[in-house]
């Protein structure tokens, strides 16, 4: 089995990323309510980096992996 490279810096960046607009502007992406992230998955993610980050957050939330961000908080 081949291991995929893991980008620790990208995970740290995702842990600090904030929602830039809307009702949850300024909130960490990982702290967005799951229904809000599911809405983006259904209606379409924004273009670019934010869309990529929200796609990742969606996968993290629907798979119950938010706990992975606990050690990254406050850094």
Q: What's the structural domain count of the chain?
A: 1
> How far apart, in whole angstroms, are the C-alpha atoms of residue 55 and residue 62?
11
Residue 69 has pLDDT above 90, yes or no: no
Residue 28 lies in a domain: yes
Residue 57: closest CA among 2, 23, 10: 10
> How far apart, in whole angstroms, are the C-alpha atoms of residue 18 and residue 40?
15
Residue 48 lies in a domain: yes
Residue 24 lies in a domain: yes
Residue 74 has pLDDT above 90, yes or no: no
Q: Which tens digit of pLDDT belongs to each residue from 5-39?
A: 777 888 889 999 999 999 999 999 999 999 999 99
pLDDT of residue 7: 79
Q: Kindly report the pTM of this predicted structure.
A: 0.85
Q: What is the distance between the terminal CA atoms of the chain, rounded to a whole angstrom?
A: 33
Which residues span the domain enclosing 57? 8-72
pLDDT of residue 34: 94
Residue 3 lies in a domain: no
């Amino acid at each position: 089995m081949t291991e995929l490279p893991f980008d620790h810096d990208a995970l740290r960046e995702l842990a600090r990323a904030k929602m830039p607009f809307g009702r949850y502007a300024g909130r960490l992406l990982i702290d967005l309510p799951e229904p809000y992230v599911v809405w983006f998955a259904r209606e379409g993610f924004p273009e670019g980096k934010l869309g990529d980050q929200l796609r990742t957050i969606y996968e993290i939330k629907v798979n119950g992996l938010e706990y992975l961000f606990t050690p990254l908080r406050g850094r």
